[in-house]
């Protein structure tokens, strides 16, 4: 058999670990040939291929990013995109594709499966917002990076008696903000699932200053004030209809400064959360996902995604994996609120 593998959407730590696992098990256990598609779904559309053997994956376990490259290409937005994928598959004698990605990449995988192309999905997103799996790889690394940033910012905030607003990634789900905020001891955590009241945020900030400690506010990029809207970095939409968010941290820092008269600064972590070496947890989870994806291909169980349930790796339908996003439930946010405040 010849198996194609691709990585789509935003990069994250652990992608190379999945590729490594697919290649090693595919070759060693089954004697398959592995073909990498470059730059997400752009690869099979434009026949951008790269043979991958054992030597190619020897040193990639600890590397961030992806050796195959990525993009936000949507074959269903490209004229003749699906037919061109069929032509690439036929020209390269590809028997199945392992698609590693988040909601958009896996949404395409589901549609391609419906159109008769054999695809197995692997869940990837630092946002941890895929509902069919307990955790996605990349999330743990992003939380560690954000938590370390909060720890470092706290010392400079205390030194200068400033309010520090830390903006983390999270378009529709606030998992990174919630976990890093709790781990970093933030005084306020703001998530997209729950519009925030600016007056109440300011109250927390003033109480913190009254206790002679500097306030730390963690805000997800998709968080919105009550009656307001998302802060857009750009109104331009990508191939999946997403606008580029960013700037709520700066906006909130300015509001705090205007209302309190205290110095307030914003730190926007951005793509720092996506880069660098994956944590041990993400390396192991990504490796397990890759191994089980090979098992799904070997069984001909296409149209499925490997998922973590408890400590077990299981298979779920791609339709289930892409049905809805996993957002922070009200009870998780409310149980954390006991730690907020001065």
Tell me which residue of 115, 142, 114, 116 sits closest to 127, measured CA to CA. Answer: 142
Q: Which helix (H) or strand (E) holds 196?
A: none
Q: Which two tokens stand for residue 157?
A: 């905030």
Chain centroid to CA 42: 20
Which distant-in-sequence residues (6+ apart) come within 8 Å of 152 by Cβ?
none
**Residues with Cβ within 8 Å of residue 116, at least 6 apart in sequence:** none
Is 272 labelled a binding residue?
yes
87 is in an annotated binding site: no
Residue 221 assigned ligand-binding role? yes
- Does 103 show up as a binding residue in the annotation? yes
Pairing of strands 243-245, 232-237: antiparallel
- 3-class DSSP state of 160: helix
Residue 331 among known ligand-binding residues: no
Residue 239: CB atoms within 10 Å: 16
194 is in an annotated binding site: no
For the chain, how are helix, strand and coil distributed in percent, rounded to 5? Answer: 40, 20, 35
274 annotated as a binding-site residue: yes
Active site annotation includes 127: yes
Closest CA to 318 of 164, 147, 148, 105: 105
Find out whether 125 is annotated in a ligand binding site: yes
Q: Confirm whether residue 174 is marked as ligand binding.
A: no
Q: How far apart are the first and last CA of the chain?
A: 61
172 is in an annotated binding site: no
Instruction: Using alpha carbons, select from 278, 286, 281, 276 the residue that is nearest to residue 23.
Output: 286
- Confirm or deny that 138 is annotated as ligand binding: no
63 is in an annotated binding site: no
The catalytic residue among 11, 104, 127, 282 is 127
Residue 265 assigned to a binding site:
yes
Q: Which parts are annotated binding residues for diphosphate?
A: 10
Q: Which parts are annotated binding residues?
A: 10, 103, 125-127, 162, 169-171, 221, 265, 271-274
Q: Kindly list the catalytic residues.
A: 127
Q: Which parts are annotated binding residues for Mg(2+)?
A: 103
Q: Which parts are annotated binding residues for substrate?
A: 125-127, 162, 169-171, 221, 265, 271-274
């Amino acid at each position: 058999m010849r198996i194609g593998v691709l990585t789509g959407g935003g990069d994250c730590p652990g992608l190379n670990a999945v590729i490594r696992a697919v290649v090693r098990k595919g070759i060693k256990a089954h004697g398959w040939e592995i073909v990498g598609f470059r730059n997400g779904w752009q690869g099979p559309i434009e026949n951008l291929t790269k043979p991958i053997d054992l030597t190619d994956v020897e040193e990639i376990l600890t590397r961030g990013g992806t050796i195959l490259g990525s993009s936000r290409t949507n074959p269903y937005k490209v004229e003749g995109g699906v037919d061109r994928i069929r032509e690439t598959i036929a020209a390269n004698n590809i028997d199945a594709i392992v698609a590693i990605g988040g909601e958009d990449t896996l949404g395409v995988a589901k549609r391609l499966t419906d159109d008769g192309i054999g695809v197995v999905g692997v869940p990837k997103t630092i946002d941890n917002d895929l509902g069919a799996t307990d955790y996605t790889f990349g999330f743990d690394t992003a939380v560690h990076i954000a938590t370390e940033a909060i720890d470092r910012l706290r010392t400079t905030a205390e030194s200068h008696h400033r309010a520090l607003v830390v903006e983390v990634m999270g378009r529709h789900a606030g998992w990174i903000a919630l976990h890093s905020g709790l781990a970093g001891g933030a005084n306020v955590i703001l998530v997209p699932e729950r519009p925030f009241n600016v007056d109440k945020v300011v109250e927390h900030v003033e109480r913190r200053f009254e206790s002679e400690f500097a306030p730390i506010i963690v805000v997800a990029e998709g968080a919105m004030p009550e009656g307001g809207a998302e802060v857009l970095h750009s109104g331009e939409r990508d191939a999946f209809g997403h606008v580029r968010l960013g700037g709520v941290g700066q906006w909130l820092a300015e509001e705090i400064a205007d209302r309190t008269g205290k110095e307030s600064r914003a730190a926007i972590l951005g793509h720092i959360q996506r880069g660098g070496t994956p944590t041990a947890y993400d390396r192991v989870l990504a490796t397990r996902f890759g191994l089980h994806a090979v098992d799904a291909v070997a069984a001909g169980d296409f149209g499925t995604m490997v998922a973590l349930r408890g400590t077990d790796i299981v298979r779920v339908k791609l339709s289930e994996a892409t049905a809805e996003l996993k957002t922070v439930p009200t009870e998780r946010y409310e149980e954390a609120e006991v730690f907020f405040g001065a």
